[in-house]
Amino acid sequence: MQTLLIIDGNAIMHRAYHALPPFKSSDGTPTNVVYGYLSMLNKVIVDFKPDYLISCFDTPEKTFRNELFKEYQSQRPKIDDDFIVQIPLVKQAVDVAGVVRMEKPGYEADDLIGTITRIFETNKFRVIILTGDKDIFQLITDNVFVASPQLGLANIKIFDKSEVEKKLDITPNQIIEYKALVGDPSDNYPGASGIGPKTACKLIHQFGTVENIYKNIDKVESEKVKEILKKERESVLLSEKLATIMTDIEIDLDIEKLKFKGFDKKLIDFLTQYQMSTLTKRIFNIKEVEKKEEVKKKPDQIGLF
């Protein structure tokens, strides 16, 4: 079985920004996000040896979720300027490295990841998604796994179905129901105010889905919980839509173009420009790097005559 590795671009950029000190290149350009992103990308390529590779990113435009709920993600603090200036640099690095990059206005990277995952899964691929975002857990199946960075960027934990159940007490395909009931403070949608994780898990274990809960509302044992569910019905159904990662959006995807055979050597020039020599040596064979530097030092042959 061949392996597709999907990188959740924004999630890994944020992880890099908070995990590494704010170092800069000699011209003052912040580079910790770029360095951390490429370091993590190289690590998972070495670890998982993917046959296919793609990196997905959010766009600045509002998404359909903002149209459904105006307050969606509205509480998030303004992103630091040192982070913002590195977003195009990361995308440039991905491009020069020869890694396919995808983004689509109106949708989050999660929706691209969900759609690409199902396409490759249907074609009998193993899919590994690198992300720190637990929302992605809902995509996990027998052949879909999440690689989640732990303690900064140093270690990676693989989540399969059993690991999700151990961590959350629900299956991956029940995460949408869970978030519909408890909401998500990080994305600023409420769920059912007054229903916490334990009650949500109990309801899911008993009824399976949000739809089933409301079909059998009279079977809910606690009168208090029953009243909350009735009162918060609209909020729960809205939260269910907001929590659902799309898996069928229209994208232009040529599977063959995602084949990965190593980083393009153009990445060396990019890394040299921003003084990332340690990373250059790690990603590329040091002999190749030294050879390239020697060629640069040699005078042009035409100039000898």
| Residue 213: partners with Cβ closer than 8 Å, 6 or more residues away | 203, 207, 220, 229
Instruction: Note whether 159 and 145 are within 8 A (CB).
Output: yes
Q: What distances in angstroms separate CA 293 from CA 49, 95, 265, 286, 288, one per listed residue?
A: 28, 22, 12, 11, 9
pLDDT-derived band at 155, boundaries 50, 70, 90: confident
Instruction: Name the DSSP class of 128.
Output: E
Of 68, 100, 81, the closest CA to residue 235 belongs to: 68
How far is CA 245 from each of CA 67, 104, 151, 205, rounded to the nearest angstrom? 15, 14, 26, 22
Tokens of 226: 């029953």
Q: Which fold has domain 3-161+246-258?
A: Rossmann fold (3.40.50)
For residue 57, how many other CB atoms are within 10 A of its CB?
22
Tens of pLDDT, residue by residue over 235-246, are 999 999 999 999
Dump pLDDT digits (tens) for 80-139.
999 999 999 999 999 999 999 999 999 999 999 999 999 999 999 999 999 999 999 999
**Reported pTM:** 0.90
Mean pLDDT rounded to a whole number for the chain: 91
CA angle 14, 36, 89 (to 5 degrees): 80
pLDDT of residue 74: 85
Query: What pLDDT digit, counting tens, does each position of 174-223 carry?
Result: 999 999 999 998 898 989 999 999 999 999 999 999 999 999 999 999 99
DSSP three-state, residue 103: coil
CATH superfamily of 172-243: 5' to 3' exonuclease, C-terminal subdomain (1.10.150.20)
In the chain, where are the structural domains located? 3-161+246-258, 172-243
CB-CB contact of 140 with 157 (8 Å): no
Alpha-carbon distance of 136 to 111, in angstroms, equals 10
Residue 14 has pLDDT above 60, yes or no: yes
> Rounded to whole angstroms, how far apart are CA atoms 281 and 34?
16
Under DSSP, is residue 28 helix (H, G, I), strand (E, B) or coil? coil
Model confidence at 144: pLDDT above 70: yes
- Sign of the alpha-carbon torsion through 243, 249, 251, 254: positive
Cα angle 37, 9, 43; round to 5: 40
